[in-house]
Structures are given as structure tokens and as C-alpha cells.
Amino acid sequence: MTTPKVTVKMGADGVPVAVCSGDFDMDTTNLLVEACYEATSGQPLVVDVTQVTFADSSFLNALVRLRKDCPLTLQGPLPDQFRRLLEMTGAVGLFAIRRPTDPAR
């Protein structure tokens, strides 16, 4: 298991970017939730998932809950395992996905 980490930084466009790395499961997804709620209060948010090595349904559930509270964009490219999770659950259409050079939507 790769230790999960979430770091929030300000993007060039002024939108907070939560950079996630490592493995996220039921026991560690709270790192994402806490960091994102501290970084935003209804304003747009980008979650960079390019360094996520594993994500289970609790990670996806956290992203769905976060997007109810603020406009949320995923920054890719999506890791294969996470992309498959989004496709298998039918959740891929719930999220705008941008490349690192695209502005937040």
C-alpha cells in the first residue's frame, strides 16, 4: 500500500487544486474530504488524481459528495484503475476532466 497524501495548492487560475497521491480506501479517504472542505467553501475545486495508485468506492463516493457542495473538476490523465472504477460505476460522466494545462471549468 502506498501512503496516501493530499496537498492543496492554489492553481494559476486562482482555483484550489487538491493533489492526491497514493492509495485511497475506506480508511484513508477522509484525508481528501478534510483537505477539500478546508480549501473551499462552495468555490470551484480541482482534484488532481494523476498520482492516485489505488482508489475504491469510498474515494469515488467522497468525490460525488464534494461535487454536491462545489463545482468540481478532476485533473487527469486518469490513472487506469481509477478510470475503470469510474467507467464500471457509470460515474465518468459526473465529472469534468481536464489536463494540467486546461483552465478550471
Residues 58-94 pLDDT 10s: 999 999 999 998 899 999 999 999 999 999 999 999 9
Q: Which pLDDT belongs to residue 100?
A: 72
Residue 22 lies in a domain: yes
* Total domains in the fold of the chain: 1
Residue 66 lies in a domain: yes
Q: What is the pTM of this model?
A: 0.90
Residue 32 lies in a domain: yes
Report which secondary-structure segment, H or E, holds 35.
helix 30-39
pLDDT-derived band at 101 (thresholds 50, 70, 90) equals low
Grid coordinates representing 17 are 487544486
